[in-house]
Amino acid sequence: MPVFSVQTVHVESYKLNVTSQNLLVSSVFSLNVTAENPNKVALSYEPSRFHVLSQGLVVGLIRIPQFHQPPLSKNVSVQTRVLFERVNVSEIMSGSSRKEEDGSSSKGAFDIRILGDVRAQVRVFHMTLPMMKVALDCDLSVSESKFSVNNELHSIRWSHNQMV
């Protein structure tokens, strides 16, 4: 199975709208993702879009460009963007208390789901096999403690790599 890991996350732009009870955020993030292909065949991916869901509602869109993974490759870098429009952060954070496996409550953690599909092709000895469609359904748990915020949202950094 190919392995993808997020290396860096940058905030390209953001807009905050504060109402009497809610904080709404619109933003664009750029992600640098590293792809590893442990297979002895090459893989090619068509451009894709994935929906980002929080509490069952679509809150964002991830756009992945077309890219190619050579056989046995370890450092294929893919630049992508995540778009969020008018996300109600107050609502997400108010519902962010959840139960851990040991029964304890985890404050400041929220779940994100990424859904979509990608068309891929396998290349073997200069032969391209028929296109196949692969579905992605990924659940992520995000903890506030994994983010560091500096200069009042001027710089946001993910504190460790996540594997997908």
The model's pLDDT over 13-41, given as tens digits with 9 standing for 90+, comes to 888 888 778 888 889 999 898 989 999 99
* CB within 8 Å of 85: residues ≥ 6 apart: 26, 60
State the pLDDT at residue 153.
Answer: 43
> What angle (nearest 5°) sits at the alpha carbon of residue 31, between those of residues 116 and 111?
55
The Cα 64–Cα 78 span in angstroms is 8
- In the chain, the amino acid numbered 161 is N
Residue 84 and residue 62 in contact, taking contact as beta carbons nearer than 8 Å:
no
Assess whether pLDDT exceeds 90 at residue 47: yes
Instruction: Tell me if the pTM is above 0.75.
Output: no
Q: May I ask the CATH class of domain 3-150?
A: mainly beta
How confident is the prediction for the chain on average, in pLDDT? 78
State both tokens at 150.
Answer: 């500096």
